[in-house]
C-alpha cells in the first residue's frame, strides 16, 4: 500500500517538549497543536506576530505559535529558523 505524500509548508525538525508542559498539557492536545502549527495556524498570536510568522515560513526565520489547552493552560510552540528543531513549552519554561 502506498501512502500519499502530504505537503506541509515547513519541516518541524527534531520535536521536543519540556517536562513541565508534558505534565500539564495532554499529549493529544500537544499533537493537535503541532499539526496546527505546521499548517500555519498560529493559534492565539497577535495580528503582527501572525504576519511575522507568515513571512518567516518563506524567509527561513523562527516561528512562534501560542495555544491554550482545554484546561486553559497557555503553551508555546517554537520552530527554529533553520527548521532543525521544534520545542513545545510553557511560557515560564522559556
32-78 pLDDT, tens digit each: 999 999 999 999 999 999 999 999 998 889 999 999 999 999 999 99
Compare 58 and 79 and report the one with higher pLDDT. 79
Residue 77 lies in a domain: yes
Residue 65 lies in a domain: yes
Structural domain count, the chain: 1
Are residues 68 and 44 in contact, defined by beta-carbon separation less than 8 angstroms?
Answer: yes
Domain that holds residue 57: 14-93
Residue 66 lies in a domain: yes
Residue 7 lies in a domain: no
Residue 3 lies in a domain: no
Residue 8 lies in a domain: no
Residue 6 lies in a domain: no
Work out the average pLDDT over 78-88.
96
Query: Exposed, middle or buried by CB within 10 Å (0-12, 13-18, 19+), for 82?
Result: exposed
Confidence (pTM)? 0.91
CA dist list (Å): 1 to 4, 5, 7: 10, 13, 19
Residue 50 lies in a domain: yes
13-44 pLDDT, tens digit each: 999 999 999 999 999 999 999 999 999 999 99
Amino acid at each position: 500500500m502506498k501512502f500519499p505524500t502530504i505537503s506541509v509548508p515547513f519541516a518541524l525538525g527534531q520535536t521536543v517538549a519540556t517536562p513541565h508542559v508534558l505534565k500539564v498539557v495532554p499529549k493529544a492536545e500537544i499533537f493537535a497543536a503541532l499539526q496546527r502549527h505546521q499548517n500555519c495556524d498560529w493559534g492565539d498570536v497577535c495580528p503582527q506576530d501572525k504576519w511575522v510568522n507568515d513571512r518567516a515560513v518563506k524567509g527561513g526565520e523562527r516561528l512562534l505559535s501560542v495555544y491554550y489547552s482545554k484546561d486553559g493552560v497557555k503553551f508555546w510552540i517554537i520552530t527554529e529558523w533553520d527548521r532543525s528543531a521544534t520545542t513545545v513549552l510553557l511560557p515560564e519554561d522559556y
